[in-house]
């Protein structure tokens, strides 16, 4: 299965636009605002963790018979797509790091 990282990131960004920022996380306002790549990465990973927790909660509610199956499938699918995107980004970062290590000075 081939994962298009750019499409995954674009879909994640589009989905995130419709959601309010989590407590304690302020959305970036521009390049000069002092928020850097680390802050953006931290925010994205927190969102991924939240997605996984929502999927687990929906699954537990389904087992207990307290959830609508459509909501469970949606939550689990979102969690799976988020995990696949995180893994694809991780693989690209590792590949870039390996390439940098092989550069001659």
pTM: 0.57
Contacts 24+ apart (CB under 8 A), 52-55: 52/79, 52/82, 52/83, 54/78, 54/79, 55/79, 55/80
CA dihedral in degrees (62, 66, 71, 74; nearest 10)? Answer: -20
The predicted pLDDT at position 44 comes to 87
Q: Domain span at residue 52?
A: 37-105
Domain assignment of residue 3, yes or no = no
Number of domains comprising the chain = 1
The predicted pLDDT at position 36 comes to 85
Domain assignment of residue 46, yes or no = yes
With a cut of 90, say whether residue 98 has pLDDT above it: yes
Domain assignment of residue 22, yes or no = no
Domain assignment of residue 81, yes or no = yes
Domain assignment of residue 101, yes or no = yes
When the pLDDT of each residue in the chain is averaged and rounded to a whole number, the result is 79
């Amino acid at each position: 299965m081939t994962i298009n990282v750019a499409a995954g990131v674009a879909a994640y960004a589009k989905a995130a636009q419709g959601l309010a920022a989590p407590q304690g996380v302020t959305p970036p306002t521009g390049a000069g605002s002092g928020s850097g790549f680390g802050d953006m990465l931290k925010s994205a990973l927190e969102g991924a963790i939240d997605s996984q927790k929502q999927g687990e909660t929906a699954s537990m509610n389904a087992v207990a018979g307290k959830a609508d199956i459509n909501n469970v499938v949606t939550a689990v699918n979102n969690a799976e797509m988020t995990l696949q995107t995180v893994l694809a980004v991780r693989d690209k970062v590792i590949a870039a790091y390996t390439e940098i290590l092989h550069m001659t000075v």
